[in-house]
Chains A and B, each alone.
Chain A
Amino acid sequence: MKKLLSFVLFFLVGSTLYAGGYRVSIQGQKQLAMGHTGVAVISSAESVFFNPASISFLDGKMNFSLGVSGIIAETKYENKEFGNTNSTESGLATPFNFYATYKANDWLSFGLGVYTPYGSSVEWEKDWSGSHLVNDIDLKAIFVQPTIAVKISDKLSIGGGPIYVNGSVNFNKNLSRSLTDVNGNRTNVTVEQKGITAWGYTLGVMIKPIEKLNIGFNYRSKVIVKAENGDADFENVPGSLPNNLSDGNFDAELPLPAEVTMGLSYEFCDKFLFAFDYNFAQWSEYEALVVEFDNDAGVSTSPRNYKDAETFRFGLQYEATKKVTVRTGIYFDQSPVQDGYFAPETPRNDSVGYTAGLSFKVNDKLSIDASFLYLHFDEIDNSYDHYQESGQNVPFEGTYKSSVIAPGLGLSYKL
């Protein structure tokens, strides 16, 4: 146990660097191993996230799940016309989750979830060729979700709860491709704010029409994370620059889009469970990153023009022995980023996730859950065409290739 604890701690204190894109689908080790399906799966406290309605159907008075993954992500960039190559600093990100459920009586259950569904940390080499778009970015959001579920009948349950979000942002970029101070140090700005709070909610329905078949539905509301009076720190500003670029404050907002998930799970041959989830994320909400400064930097608008995105998830579980359950899955994740809007701050194209994992029952109450995710991105030629210099668009183009792996560990405990 001691070793396990130190291993978990090792991941938690590692550098906080997330994969490309800012939705991170790692909200439970068991479900991640099954392609991150789960809207219609009744298996553990992880359901607090996947479908709050389904906690009504969990065995046991109380259920706990705790998990953490280590994301190792890297993106390479190349521009053949000008011979530039760059890559993001590889590092370790550690999305974690904690879930608890409590069955008050036969029809009423409560739950609590703490998880990190959004985050992005990309760190390019300082002053690299895309530094006018981003040097480094670190977004974090922790969701806390108290949950209530009501079992209406043995075949139907509903659930939901408010979501409290606590987020932070730290974003650095150079002001242009060429502005420097008198000694050639690039003029740049860092915007930072911690402890941004916001609210959202989740609602779920779980139907068990026939034995062995579950159908689930989950809606997660959009959350607008607003930074107000954050710190804007301008560095290497030429002293005689006529524009006032002294340090000050900024306002900005970032949408965490609404998400609809529906799916089913089916038990067969006693020991097998198949699950399918369909996600629809309303990314079209994210039209532009607008940062308002209180000095002459004014309003900086970077069009994003995201499109709604779908994900198809397939998972399979097999109870191999009394002690060991193995899982695997695959998912097809559509990127919300459109051609011409491919910014190096979220260098994310369509991807395919391959997952696997297993649970080991230590005893009737405790099991250890391991998961592994490999996210495959095809090489892509794309550009961000909406950065402007003297009123004209200056495309930033090149070839990108990302790779993400995420091993994870968790514990489930049932009372």
Chain B
Amino acid sequence: MKNIKYIAIIALGLVACEPELDNSIEDAGFYSSGEADFSKFVSVGNSLTAGYADGALYLEGQKYSYPNILADRFSHAGGGNFTQPLVNDNFGGLTLGGTQITDNRFVLSGDPLAPSILTGTPTTEVSNILAGPFNNVSAPSAKSFHLLSNSYGDVSGVALGTANPYFARFASSSSATMLGDAVAQDPTFFSLWIGNNDILSFATSGGLGVDQNGNLDPATYGNDDITDPMVFGSAYTTILDGLTANGAKGVVMNLPSVTSIPYFTTIPYNAIPMDAATAAGTNGSYAAYNGGLGTAVGMALIDAAEMAQRTINFTAGQNALVIEDESLTDLSALGLPSIRQATAADFIVLPTLPVIGTLADPANPASVIGVGVALNDSQVLTENEATMIANAQAAYNATISALASANNNVILVDVKSYMEELSMGGLSYDGGTITSEFATGGGFSLDGVHPTARGYAFIANFIINEINTEFNATIPLTNPGYYPTVYID
């Protein structure tokens, strides 16, 4: 019977006999961080860095923020712990003093599936200040100069609009700056992606704001304004100087074109189908306006080119939407509104989708929005407004590029080019291709502005490729095929 006891002991001892791989990735040094040191990685930015998607910041989105994906990859090469100021739930709405102040996230629901706001009571209370520090120092809607503002994280300013609810949740004090909270962690490696909102807020508002080109005092800016490039440059320099002061290496991302995102590309400028009879009828109702334009030319108020631009004409087939354009000559003295038909150079914003073609006044069949009633300033980013944005974007990117190339510790990731690829033909992975098609393309979440988790995974890979090349590292990529796109309720 003794033998049996020994056999039992041997058997149990052998439980520890595990298979071992030669040259395993778990062996130290399998992946190299090259010249970089990822032991303290800090990311700084706006919604794109926070993991914002589907119009909200929610737990699943934060899990797939590009810096969180990066940190997971860095962990193979000496990367340290990476913390984020996580929200409380997957609804994504914020409350302040118990009152909901931001919407829940969009999901697809219903039959047929359509984007709608997820119903549920959000539990992320802004005044519950989280104890930091957090490696991911990012706040949705932050602009470049906000990162230096010492009132941006003050909870008492959230209701007044002087502070950011996302940053206020985790600011180290009511007078902390985002840059200060990042630098205080003494990062060995950083990522910086800022400046998008300096043009994006203007764009998504349909150009309601003002192009502040020439105004060097950001304290006077409205939320929907375009930041002056000098103001941007100065803020960016301060931020980058702060992050690199201790010799940290890092990546900076340039700014993609805002008008190639689904928020602006989903609704075509010529969204109105008509038959010949309806077109003729509609033209009849614009006869007075068109005639008035001729009068204005006769009075030398406008030239023939502007008259041609403003003349409303519907034909059988697809027709351009009627839009307001504040850049047109003011003819209100003649009782003529500043309207014209859109062209391919104008962008109709996504929130207009449910109202186009509906009646502004249900009792008036002639009040079809986009036909009898012009789309207003907030519903259209006109060609003129898009040009202001493109000019500012080019100036910002020139600054980012120049500052990055002036510092050997900083590498530039050309996210702009990658996003162009996404909107031109798409980006391929082992299970297909993501495109910028709204809701179905897989690249953009249901807010039409922010990437999906899969989109963020691509961005993380672009950054890793650049780090591997420039810092001689061998960080493993992530496989976008494993990341979700849009969520179905």
Interface residues of A (CB under 8 A from B): 3-4, 7, 70, 72, 74-76, 78, 80-83, 85, 87, 90, 129, 177-184, 238-242, 360, 368, 370, 377, 379, 389-390, 392, 394-395, 399, 401-403, 405, 407, 409
Contact = CB atoms under 8 A, between A and B. Distances in A.
A392 B432 contact: yes
A172 to B, nearest CB: 18
B408 interface: no
Given A83-B31, A83-B76, A182-B489, A377 B63 contact: no
Contacts of A407: 7, 10-11, 14
Given A3-B4, A390-B432, A83 B454 contact: no
Contact of B107 (A182, A360, A394, A403): A182
Contacts of B365: none
Given A72-B15, A182-B487, A405-B14, A395 B430 contact: yes
Contacts of B110: 240
Interface stretch (B93-101, B258-266, B324-332, B474-482): B474-482
B431 A389 contact: yes
A394 to B, nearest CB: 5
B65 interface: no
B4 A402 contact: no
Contacts of A241: 488
B26 interface: yes
B281 to A, nearest CB: 39
Interface centre among B19, B76, B108 (most CB of A within 10 A): B19
A240 B108 contact: yes
A133 B10 CA distance: 35
Given A370-B3, A407-B10, A178 B484 contact: yes
Interface residues of B, number: 51
B108 A184 contact: no
Interface in B274-296: none
Nearest to B481: A177
B431 A401 contact: no
**A-B CB proximity, top 3 nearest:** A83-B476, A389-B431, A238-B488
A389 B481 CA distance: 9
Contacts of B63: 184
Contacts of B26: 78, 85
A393 to B, nearest CB: 9
Contacts of A177: 431, 481-482
Nearest to A395: B430
A401 B21 contact: yes
B219 interface: no
B6 to A, nearest CB: 10
B18 interface: yes
A90 B19 CA distance: 11
A4 B8 CA distance: 10
Nearest to A178: B484
A199 B21 CA distance: 41
B20 A76 contact: yes
Given A180-B484, A377-B19, A240 B109 contact: yes
Nearest to A83: B476
Nearest to A183: B90
A240 B25 contact: no
B115 to A, nearest CB: 11
5 contacts: A72-B11, A181-B487, A390-B431, A403-B18, A409-B4
B431 A392 contact: yes
Contacts of A240: 108-111, 113, 488-489
Contacts of A399: 21
B340 interface: no
B62 to A, nearest CB: 11
Contact of A184 (B10, B112, B482, B484): B484
Interface in B383-424: none
A87 B139 CA distance: 38
Contact of A81 (B17, B431, B476, B481): B476
A401 B21 CA distance: 6
A72 B18 CA distance: 10
B217 interface: no
Contact of B476 (A80, A87, A368): A80
A312 to B, nearest CB: 24
B25 A80 contact: yes
A331 to B, nearest CB: 19
A389 B7 CA distance: 49
A340 B26 CA distance: 25
A178 B90 contact: no
A182 B119 CA distance: 12
B485 to A, nearest CB: 7
B19 A403 contact: yes
Nearest to A391: B432
Contact of B90 (A129, A182, A360, A405): A182
Contact of B60 (A4, A184, A394): A184
Nearest to A72: B15
Given A4-B1, A394-B430, A75 B90 contact: no
B487 A178 contact: no
A403 B15 CA distance: 11
Nearest to B477: A82
A284 B109 CA distance: 46
A399 B483 CA distance: 23
B487 A394 contact: no
A75 B19 CA distance: 7
B73 A83 contact: yes
Contacts of B22: 379
Contacts of A78: 21, 24-26
B118 interface: yes
Contacts of A181: 487
Contacts of B487: 180-182, 238
B432 A183 contact: no
B73 A90 contact: no
Nearest to A179: B484
Interface in B1-45: 1, 3-5, 7-8, 10-11, 14-15, 17-22, 24-26, 30-31
Interface in B107-144: 107-113, 118
A74 B489 contact: no
Contacts of B431: 177, 389-390, 392, 394
A238 B10 contact: no
Contacts of A179: 484
B488 A405 contact: no
Nearest to B6: A370
A405 B17 contact: yes
A133 to B, nearest CB: 13
A127 to B, nearest CB: 10
A242 B109 CA distance: 9
Contacts of B8: 7
A269 to B, nearest CB: 26
A82 B25 CA distance: 10
Contacts of A75: 19
Interface in B207-250: none
A76 B481 contact: no
